[in-house]
Chains A and B, each alone.
Chain A
Amino acid sequence: MLAKLKPVLFVLAAAALAYPLMPFSNDYLLHVVTLVLVYMVLAMGLNILPGFCGLLDLGFVGFYGIGAYTSGLLTIHYGMSFWVIVPLACLNGALWGVLLGVPTLRLVGDYFAIVTFGFAELVVLFLTNEIWLTRGPLGLPGIEPVSFDFTWLNPDWYFELIGEVPYFYLAVAMVAFVWLVMRRIEDSRLGRAWFAIREDTLAAASCGVNILRYKVIAFAISAGIGALGGAFYARWSLFLSPDMFKFWESFLVLCMVVLGGLGNIAGALVGAVVLIVLGEGLREILPILGLAPETRFLAYGLIMVLIMRFKPAGFFPAIATASARNPLIKDLKKRLAGYASGEKSGTAA
């Protein structure tokens, strides 16, 4: 089925990439699409924990917030380039992931979920109350937009990214990068160790997987990707405030991952598209119906109930799908096909 859809998807992707350059392109629409792309990054990042490792993380937005404020503060105080800030923000996110993960990842199930929830609340409280650093509820205005500085090549080559179009392409590049990283991890020793932990922790340990270490690695990578999304968001929205990183955001990203199918990277992308487009759509439609825009949260809740009732595994439940594309596995598949048609397998027993 997917093979048949491939040309269609290809055309759609090409159209989406070309759209911003068209004279009829619309800034609002581009803004929404860029937001979708940011949430795609977040959903792929979160997917590592509940999807790959089976750890319920309710505090993902904490790392998103850490990334965003790292990016915002470094820009305002030190005027650093976006390209320097991105790796720093990712490392800062990963650092906090490790600091939180090492003591708490010994917990399992609901207990762990509560710890992560508490962490996200702590981040918001910190951002709200440490006014000397974050200006608290006033927020951080006046963050510089992303720029390319090639003045060392030619004094005239300084480009500032203004408007939605360049950010759209930047976000596309970011999604593509994270997608590639995730697909490669999924089909690797690291990814298999995570899936093993998710499927059966004891069996994974007796295969030689150091459970705590691999959970911490998962937490760090997930946090780093969350911070990447935050770093981009800060330089795109040019304003940050603590209430952008409330628990609700964690829940939204978790819904995207569950909706798409836990552990499926493509599913996380689809989940991001569906929930963000739905949210924006309802924001427009509900006032027409005479309802407050906030009632859209009811719709989110209803959708989650319906999904859990009718598609508990999400739209794309398959996991570890990347390895099917690995040339080594394709080669093995051919060998097995030859095997089945040829002589019966000679086995030891």
Chain B
Amino acid sequence: MEPLLKVENVTKRFGGLMALAEVSFEVRPGEILGLIGPNGAGKTTMFNCIAGVYKPTSGDITFAGKDGVVRTNGLKPEKMTGLGIARTFQNIRLFGALSVLDNVRVARHCRTSSNFFGAVLRTRSQKEEEKAIIEESMRWLEFVGLAKHALDNATSLAYGNQRRLEIARALATGPKLIMLDEPAAGMNPRETRRLVDLIHAILDAGVTVVLIEHDMKLVMHICQRLAVLDHGVLIAEGVPEAVRADPQVIEAYLGRGAAHA
């Protein structure tokens, strides 16, 4: 099957620090890919390269969006969102002073078009667009189970719900691929179970998922495939069972010698 996202020999340097070295993997449509690795392995850097926050020093990232396969290196984040890649952040980045609904409404920006004149003159098309924005936003808030909080302030939500709101916001951009950066971080077991259900629902909605996660139980349970990074190098890729047994992976997590212990 044609991969949705293809990462080929991507290197990212920050001065003398090699954050990613010749990393290659692919994401297939309709799967959940887990990107794992110890702290500082370069997982979030990889996300940032894919999302357009960083430009890879070398290598290619191609994405099969609506307009066919596009090489996306160096495209800006808003462009990537437009192409159909949405993301959440490791440390929650909500628009704190805005309401829950407004957070999601902002995400419709890339799929709507009314401008200054529409806003001031309140043209019919602007009004219809606003109505559609609210409908679509409420649909995604209902999807993550936050509809009843729609008009509350975003920062008034409980921690787990703030994470869910970030996911709703990402989904509202109409993506083909969603990248979740440690979605279960700081969640209690109940919240984590609800998150697993939510991720399956996202998949059912036709959106491919890539996630960074440290909760190994969660990762092994829901991911079809895993890619393992260590010190910026891809050390393993494959189904969870194979990756778990890989000596290099065990070494990366537990230290040299552990693989043979």
Contact = CB atoms under 8 A, between A and B. Distances in A.
B74 to A, nearest CB: 14
B118 A208 contact: no
Interface stretch (B8-16, B109-117, B228-236): B109-117
B53 interface: yes
Contacts of A323: 102
Interface residues on A, range: 35 or more
B131 A195 contact: no
Given A185-B116, A328-B130, A348-B143, A336 B148 contact: yes
A132 B134 CA distance: 56
A199 B145 contact: no
B138 interface: yes
A210 B78 contact: yes
A209 B112 CA distance: 11
A221 interface: yes
Contact of A195 (B102, B107, B115, B142): B102
Contacts of A200: 93-96
A209 B148 CA distance: 27
B150 A202 contact: no
A310 to B, nearest CB: 20
Contacts of A329: 101, 134, 151
A308 B89 CA distance: 32
Contact of A203 (B95, B114, B116): B95
B106 A349 contact: no
A193 B106 contact: yes
Contacts of B97: 195, 198-199, 263, 319-320
Contact of B148 (A185, A192, A203, A339): A339
Contacts of A211: 78
Given A332-B151, A339-B148, A347-B145, A207 B118 contact: no
Contact of A185 (B53, B120, B151): B120
A205 interface: yes
Given A203-B93, A333-B151, A348 B201 contact: yes
Contact of B119 (A191, A198, A204, A339): A191
Contacts of A3: none
Interface string B143-170: 1110110110000000000000000011
B114 A332 contact: no
A206 B77 contact: yes
Contacts of A25: none
A85 interface: no
Interface in A180-206: 181, 184-185, 188-193, 195-196, 198-200, 202-206
Contacts of A181: 120
Interface stretch (B24-32, B80-88, B215-223): B80-88
Contact of A207 (B101, B106, B119): B106
B129 interface: yes
Nearest to A323: B102
Contacts of B43: none
B71 interface: no
Given A188-B126, A208-B107, A208-B109, A196 B82 contact: no
A215 to B, nearest CB: 13
B95 A217 contact: no
B180 to A, nearest CB: 13
A348 B150 contact: no
Nearest to B146: A347
Contacts of B109: 189, 192-193, 196, 207-209
Nearest to A193: B109
Given A181-B120, A184-B119, A319-B98, A208 B173 contact: yes
Contact of A328 (B96, B102, B134, B144): B134
A323 B108 CA distance: 16
Interface in A293-320: 319-320
A151 interface: no
Interface in B51-90: 51, 53, 76-78, 80-82, 86-87, 89
B176 interface: no
Nearest to A186: B119
A154 interface: no
A222 to B, nearest CB: 12
B122 interface: yes
Given A206-B170, A208-B78, A345-B142, 12 more contacts: A190-B114, A192-B109, A193-B109, A199-B94, A199-B98, A200-B93, A205-B78, A208-B111, A320-B99, A323-B102, A348-B197, A349-B194
27 contacts: A181-B120, A189-B112, A189-B119, A189-B130, A192-B98, A195-B102, A196-B106, A198-B97, A199-B94, A199-B96, A199-B98, A200-B96, A202-B77, A207-B109, A208-B81, A263-B97, A319-B98, A320-B97, A328-B134, A332-B151, A336-B151, A339-B148, A345-B148, A348-B142, A348-B144, A348-B198, A349-B194
Across chains A and B, which 8 residue pairs bring their CB atoms closest together, nearest first? A208-B110, A188-B119, A347-B145, A199-B95, A205-B77, A208-B81, A349-B198, A203-B93
Interface of A: 181, 184-185, 188-193, 195-196, 198-200, 202-211, 217, 221, 263, 319-320, 323, 326, 328-329, 332-333, 336, 339-340, 345, 347-349
